[in-house]
Structure 1
Amino acid sequence: MRSHAVHTHAPAPRPECRLAAIRPRHAGPVLAMAFPVDLRRCQVLGLTGTAFLALGGETAGALPTPDLPAPASARAALGLVAVYFGVVLLIAAWALLGRLVRGPRPPSPRALLLVLAVWATPLLLAPPLFSRDVYSYLAQGAMVDAHLDVYAHGPALLGGPLADEVAPLWRHTGAPYGPVFLAAASGLFGLTRGQLPAGLLGMRLLALFGVALMAAALPRLARAGDADPAAALWLGALNPLVLLHLVAGAHNDALMLGLLGLGLVAALGRRPLLGAVLITLAALVKAPALLGLVAVVVLQVRAGRRLLPATLSTLAAAAAATVVATAVAGTGYGWIGALDTPVSAHNWAPTSLLGRATGALLGRLGSDLAPLAVPAWHTLGLAVAAIALAAIWWRRHPRPVYALGLSLAVVAAFGPAIRPWYALWGLFLIAAAAPSASVRHRTAAVTAVLALAVLPGGGPADTGQLVLAVSGGALALVVLFQAHQVAHLPALERTA
């Protein structure tokens, strides 16, 4: 925060750059405090938020087991408060940055990329946050390195300290990921020689590489669809979900989305075969990216090519990429059967919630159909998703990238499992090709809610933890409110 002397003849600050400024009503220098909403101050506010996230994560994050403090300890409590204090500051900084992006002189894409780098820096060396999935990634990479069938067995077969870090739910579950990601995880395990701190840093760097690909693709996708590149970067790359879950959580969704974005850029640039290969590699990280091949076909048809040749060439390129990638990874084709990996019994996907509620009701009524409730709702959800996808593409949507974003959002919403970072599947492309500002605003509102949805340790919440999380968020709101109030106080008149 900067203080400076202001005189009665000084010009008023520009409205697009300041929330408020305190100015004297009489001559004579006074000390004036201002709270401008400019790019530098957004940088500082967001940096403060991610710094608190990293600091709180040291005791409340998804720590290795020997370092994990007792949930009721004072250190863990303070860490939880600090994390949610930081989350709220980050969301506020992002919202204020959105005002600048919508203003008369928006920051350039290059300036926004600098903001992203500044905000992400404290998270680089922070412990994993909001999920323990990164330990599963490392254990699965170790299994591939040891020539164990990662699709037939869970990390429990590996044994040892690394397997002990995997969440109990997934220790006996095969990997649901494709050979491209498992090859990267195996190479990373070999490079770090199984050292956990180095492995965690390597996984985060891999996720940052994916985020960098996303950030590189967004402006190009936006320009191709006559959208605003700065707005696309703000919503698709500086989004709190990206920082919280792709960077701090080191999720492999970052690599999937980065490759998907590059593939779409290639397809839009009249290189459909390269686009099909890149999108296939993305799907060999996580399967939902496979829908991108539909966009490649549609883009070719819009460019004047007939449907059948466009489809056949795209499928041929995808098949060739799949064969080569699987052969290089050496994992075999078990990933096809792993697509039906079971989901958590406590997963809060809409179909899972409805299935559990229906099962409980049937159980009270004494019906033998109660165990079938959850599978039935999952099947219904997949059917609804299939119908919605057909409707989206049957219309021959004028914005194929936007249609793909809607499709991925549908898959995430109606699938059998959902996590907050799954929202990024569709959000990334909706940000790049949103047809209107109102669509971006609604998407941003969903982001702000989901950013607060998961505890930093990645486990289920109890009442005490919820109270601490709410306290941290409330404290940040109080700080922001007080800063806003101070900015609007009348200047104290100097007395003789």
Structure 2
Amino acid sequence: MLTRGLAGSVLVLLGGLVVSTLPRSTQLLRSESLVAIRGSEAGRMVGLTVVLLGLGLLAAAWLALCRHVAVAVGEEQDDALALVRHAVVVWSAPLVIAPPLFSRDGWSYAAQGMMAHLGISPYDHGPSVLHGPVVQAVDPMWLETVTPYGPLPLVAGDFFADFTGNPWILAIGHRAVALLGLVLLAWAVPRMARWTGLNPAMASAVALASPLMLANGVGGLHNDLLMVGLMAAALVVAAERGWVGAAVLGGCAAAVKAPGGLVCLAVALVSLPLLASTAERVRRLAAVAAVSLGTLVGLSLVTGLGLGWLGGLTVPATVNTPLSLTTLVGGAFDWVARVAGTGLPNALFLDLVRQTGTLTAVGVAVWVALTWPTGRRDTAVAAVATVIGTLVVLSPVVHLWYFLWVTPFLAAMHLSRVAASGLLAASVVLGLVAPLDSSLHGAYLAIVLGSMTVAVLVPVLLLTRRARVRLDKIVRSRWLAVP
């Protein structure tokens, strides 16, 4: 099981060197063989096939791990939890040294950190103000765009730029920071699972070791992993040690990406006594908000970066993504309007549906904050899952790695058999499809054939009779709650 997953990660690394964007100055590109493989359609197809094979091995190893730890009871669960953590380390190791996989965001992080190091505000300028290797692999779409991220990733990038200007090394440094989120999840998820009476090893396997996490969180190198780790830590600290420290962690989560601050709603709920009045809720919410916002503003000012990131929050919404429900619905309405010859402005319904989705997500957050039970840890976990899940579903832009925001909290909840099966299936599918993005540089044949490969792999992994029996064993007892 561990060996199979390690082999899968190594294949993902090797195939990723073919399909991923690399700076032109990268030493590896001095190899004529590698350049020839990367430059041909057939070569990129081979690279994609190797990546998909590796992800398939990881998925199979992960399902085997889930089957193994799901049946652990009593003291066996401690050994099972140790096995899960060991598997995460082993399977992640080859990916740590990889270039940013399946997304070019990591190269943007490297460039933005270098800008901060040089005293150029990433909140006022895009990476195009730089020259040389550090911007060679940045997506042209974002070269002129300011960063929407908070000060913490930029401070980390500034620190790494003290030691090197090599973009690959800078990207690995950012991955190390993201992996701190994985460490926080490894600490927090078992605790949340015990609150709800679930198997902590199984919850950890779902949250930490899935293809979704390994492909998008570790290989993809996204700030979202650090953000969700801080969110989970904030909730645990609120329940076990007090709300002030938790609010600080919530502010730190927002200082990575703004949605991380939403965990503060659950921090307030879990820190209140049972049956708290509305007035008590409002006072605690205000206090938590003051501490978290104070932390966020303080970090922005102390680092010298300021609050310019507020102006960059709209940057992600400048693109349309096929995973965004509101974008799909709004775009469909606009298409019907054009076909019908109504003469309405372009993107009228797109903007309207997106705004409605955002307002609905805000309404759900307010409803949870003012009406859900207080003083209950299991309810607090569900509150985070509900608020963040609603935001992801209704967001105007959704990427694969956004599903990392909610998965650790869903893994620590009692789910129906259908929901538990769906979470397992989604964790596999969202990992397998990670390579099929813009990193293929217009290799449309590769994308189509890769999608067909995934369409074959998913039934083999999930829908065969043997696979259904295995999945049923995992979810039969709703994550096998602790007796």
**Which piece of structure 1 moves more, 128-137 or 326-335?**
326-335
Do structure 1's residue 410 and structure 2's residue 385 form an aligned pair?
no
> How many angstroms does 1:472 deviate by?
7.6
From 233, 236, 246, the counterpart of 1:262: 233
Match of 1:81 in 2: 49
Q: Which amino acid aligns with 1:447?
A: S
Residue aligning to 2:448: 466
The residue that corresponds to 1:148 in the other structure is 120
| Shift of residue 196, structure 1, vs aligned partner | 1.7
Deviations 1:84-142 (A, max 9, x none): 11111211221222222222556521121001111111212222211000011111111
Identity %: 31
Q: 1:303 to 1:327 in 2, by over 3 A?
A: farther
CA distance in 2, matches of 1:298, 1:479: 40
- The answer for the alignment partner of 1:365 in structure 2 is 340
How far the C-alpha of 1:481 sits from its partner, in A, is 12
TM-score by length of 1: 0.82
> 1:439, CA displacement in angstroms?
3.6
Contact 1:129 1:458 in 2 (8 A): no
Output the amino acid matched with 1:381. G
Distance 1:70 1:55, change over 3 A: closer
For residues 190 and 104 of structure 1, what CA distance do their matches in structure 2 show? Answer: 47
Q: Per-residue deviation at 1:184?
A: 1.4
Work out whether 1:286 is the aligned partner of 2:262: no
Contact 2:425 2:462 in 1 (8 A): no
The answer to whether the 8 Å contact 2:156/2:174 transfers is no
RMSD between aligned residues: 2.8
In 1, Cα distance between equivalents of 2:62 and 2:206: 9
Q: Given the alignment, which residue of 306, 328, 351 partners 1:375?
A: 351
Equivalent residue number for residue 401 of structure 1: 381
Instruction: Report the Cα offset of residue 333 of structure 1.
Output: 0.8
Query: Aligned equivalents of 2:352 and 2:40: distance in 1?
Result: 39
Q: Distance in 2 between matches of 1:480 and 1:426?
A: 22
Q: Which amino acid aligns with 1:277?
A: V
1-structure distance, mates of 2:262, 2:458: 40
The answer as to whether partners of 1:154 and 1:172 remain within 8 angstroms in 2 is yes
Partner residue of 1:230? 201
Give the structure-2-normalised TM-score.
0.84
Distance in 2 of aligned mates of 1:251 and 1:358: 32
Specify every segment of 5 or more residues in structure 2 that has no aligned partner in the other structure, as ranges. 30-34, 468-483
Give the secondary-structure state (helix, strand or coil) at the position aligned to 1:433. Answer: coil
Judging by fraction of residues, say which structure has more helix: 2
Aligned to 1:384: 360
Equivalent residues of 1:62, 1:457 under 8 A apart: no
2:80 paired residue number: 108
CA contact (8 A) 2:227 2:260 kept: yes
State the 1:435 CA deviation: 4.9
Indicate whether 1:354 and 2:329 are aligned.
yes
Q: Does 1:296 align with 2:267?
A: yes
Please state how far the C-alpha of 1:434 moved relative to its aligned partner. Answer: 3.6
The answer for the alignment partner of 2:11 in structure 1 is 52
Which consecutive aligned stretches of 4+ in structure 1 deviate over 6 angstroms post-superposition? Answer: 475-482
Contact 2:301 2:307 in 1 (8 A): no
Conserved? CA contact 1:213–1:262, under 8 Å: yes
Report the more deviating stretch, 422-431 or 225-234: 225-234
1:444 aligns to 2:424 (yes or no): yes
Instruction: Indicate which of 149, 161, 176 corresponds to 1:205.
Output: 176
Q: Is the 8 A contact 1:61 1:457 kept in 2?
A: no
Provide the C-alpha distance between the structure 1 equivalents of 2:302 and 2:339, rounded to a whole number of angstroms.
53
Partner of 1:375: helix, strand, or coil? helix
CA distance in 2, matches of 1:362, 1:159: 45
- What's the counterpart of residue 274 of structure 1? 245
Partner amino acid, structure 2, of 1:57 = G
Candidates 156, 160, 171, aligned match of 1:188:
160
Structure 2 equivalent of residue 215 of structure 1: 186
Q: How far apart are the structure 2 equivalents of 1:463 and 1:448? A: 23
Distance 1:255 1:221, change over 3 A: same
Q: Following the alignment from structure 1 to structure 2, what is the Cα–Cα distance between the partners of residues 143 and 388? A: 38
| Alignment partners' CA distance in 1, 2:273 and 2:210 | 31
Q: Distance in 1 between matches of 2:430 and 2:457?
A: 19
Match of 1:322 in 2: 296
> How do 1:30-49 and structure 2 match up within 5 A?
42-49=1-8
- The equivalent position to 2:218 in structure 1, one of 232, 243, 247, is 247
Match of 2:91 in 1: 119
Q: Distance in 2 between matches of 1:310 and 1:481?
A: 47
Deviation by residue 1:379-426 (Cα, 9 ceiling, x = unmatched): 121123233334444541551112111211111111111011101101
Q: How far, CA to CA, are the matches of 2:369 and 2:99 in structure 1?
A: 41
Distance 1:303 1:392, change over 3 A: closer
